[in-house]
Amino acid sequence: MEIASETAKTLLEVLREDLGLTGTKHGCELGECGTCAVLMDGKPVLSCLVLGVEAEGADVATIEGMMQGGQPHPLQRAFADLGAAQCGYCIPGILLVAKALLDSNPHPGRDEIREMLSGNLCRCTGYTKILDAVEMAAKGRGDL
């Protein structure tokens, strides 16, 4: 999609303000919390640190695009089923980073999941159910 936006705007601002895609959240806007993570060409980036113009030509995936054909992604299902989202504010970022992990490594160990999510702070869950949910999604999806 093509959009006109102020060049100084971060990708986070372009998504939330210009496109009205408010599923992407922010907790610091300084690159410290991981809440604003989105995928750029499949790789997690902190949208508060990327300028909108830097995303030109890239494939940007946000939480709004995670359901496919009206069906939740296995990660979304697992997070919902296990109660991994408490306040839910950190969840869009975490889901996308987890998706990037599973896309490149379908069967990560618990430590690999911890490592991958170490840049995403969550104050509610103690990460326990989040880690469980990523493991469950990885198991449930076979070698897909």
Q: Which residues bind ligand FES (CB under 6 A)?
A: 26-29, 31-36, 46, 48, 85-91, 122-125
Smallest gap from Cβ 10 to ligand FES, in A, equals 9
Q: How far is the CB of 114 from ligand FES (least distance, A)?
A: 15
Q: Residues 82, 129: contact at Cβ < 8 Å?
A: yes
Nearer to other proteins, 40 or 137 (CB): 137
Residue with tokens 């599923």: 23
Does position 42 interact with other proteins (CB under 8 A)? The reply is no
Strand partners, 44: 39
Question: With binding defined as CB under 8 A, does residue 53 bind other proteins?
Answer: no
Of 50, 120, 136, 137, which one interacts with other proteins (CB under 8 A)? 120
- Options 12, 39, 60, 63; binder of other proteins; rule CB under 8 A: 63
Nearest to 37 by CA among 6, 12, 67: 12
**DSSP string of 66-113?**
-SBTTB--HHHHHHHHHT--SS-TTHHHHHHHHHHHHHH-SS--HHHH
